[in-house]
């Protein structure tokens, strides 16, 4: 059934992807296993097909829509153990970048850990993160980037945060496929997580610094 789910994502069939996800859950397969061993490999395979010239952007977009449909069934079950202090977290994908699957997963995990998550969506201007953090009294700003070109804009979020006088109020966590701990250190981001699961632990660490 997992192979069929991969095929459904590759075919861009949201309906099939949702039905097969539901069936796997009913069989007792955990949400995390479905995500890590089926959905993420499926979207990566779509990316490989795109690189090989076998997929074009519309197919890639349909595959991501199917993946998101399946993910919406998993999100409530991806219960995370972590700090459930109920902090306010502002999250978004950086300006110039419309990739939002990973960001949405991180947002879901933080929500599952008990935080109040303000999701600004994708293609978010650096100043908007700081404005929203100030408005909602957030303790954490999370910035996702999937492109080597747009990750450069993550630094601007830190500059805007500092300009708004929030340096000691709202910590910044960065993430996304091209991002690393070394990059986070270089741009002065206090936090970095390689995946949505470790983002919850990293958020707890950063929030404990703010107390």
Considering only residues 9, 31, 42, 106, which one is a binding residue for ligand B1M as defined by CB under 6 A? 106
Q: Which of residues 46, 66, 90, 206 is near ligand B1M by CB under 6 A?
A: 46
For ligand B1M, what does the binding mask look like between residues 54 and 93, x meaning CB under 6 A? ---x--xx--x-----------------------------
Asked if 111 interacts with ligand B1M (CB under 6 A), we say no
Q: Which residues pair with 143 in a beta bridge?
A: 92, 174
Task: For CA atoms 76, 81, 83, 85, give the dihedral sign.
Answer: positive
Q: Does the protein bind ligand B1M through residue 33 (CB under 6 A)?
A: no
CB-CB contact of 46 with 12 (8 Å): no
Q: Which residues contact 180 (CB under 8 A, 6 or more apart)?
A: 192
Cα distance between residue 178 and residue 36, in whole Å: 19
Q: Which stretch binds ligand B1M (CB under 6 A): 12-20, 94-102, 162-170, 180-188?
A: 94-102
What residues numbered 135-174 form the site for ligand B1M, per CB under 6 A? 142-144, 146-148, 173-174
Distance from C-alpha of 79 to C-alpha of 109, rounded to nearest angstrom: 7
φ, ψ for residue 193 (rounded to 5)? Answer: -140, 140
Q: Give whichever of 97 and 111 is closer to ligand B1M, judged by the CB atom.
A: 97
Q: Bridge-partner residues for 142, per DSSP?
A: 91, 173
User: Per rule CB under 6 A, is residue 125 in the interface with ligand B1M?
Assistant: no
Phi, psi angle pair for 194, to nearest 5°: -80, -20
Q: Rule CB under 6 A: which residues touch ligand B1M?
A: 40, 43-44, 46-47, 51, 57, 60-61, 64, 96-103, 105-106, 142-144, 146-148, 173-178, 193, 195-196, 199
């Amino acid at each position: 059934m997992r192979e069929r789910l991969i095929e459904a994502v590759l075919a861009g069939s949201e309906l099939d992807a949702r039905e097969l996800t539901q069936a796997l859950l009913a069989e007792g397969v955990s949400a995390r296993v479905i995500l890590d061993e089926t959905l993420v490999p499926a979207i990566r395979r779509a990316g490989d097909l795109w690189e090989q010239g076998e997929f074009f952007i519309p197919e890639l977009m349909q595959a991501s829509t199917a993946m998101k449909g399946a993910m919406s069934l998993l999100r409530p079950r991806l219960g995370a153990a972590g700090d459930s202090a109920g902090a306010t977290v502002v999250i978004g994908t950086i300006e110039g970048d419309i990739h939002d699957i990973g960001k949405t997963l991180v947002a879901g995990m933080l929500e599952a850990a008990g935080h109040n998550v303000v999701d600004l969506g994708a293609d978010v201007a650096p100043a908007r993160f700081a404005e929203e953090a100030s408005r909602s009294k957030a303790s954490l700003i999370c910035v996702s980037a999937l492109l080597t070109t747009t990750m450069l804009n993550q630094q601007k979020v830190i500059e805007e945060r500092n300009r708004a006088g929030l340096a000691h109020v709202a910590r910044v966590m960065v993430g996304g496929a091209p991002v690393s701990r070394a990059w986070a250190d270089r741009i002065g981001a206090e936090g970095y997580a390689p995946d949505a699961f470790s983002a919850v632990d990293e958020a707890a660490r950063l929030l404990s610094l703010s107390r």
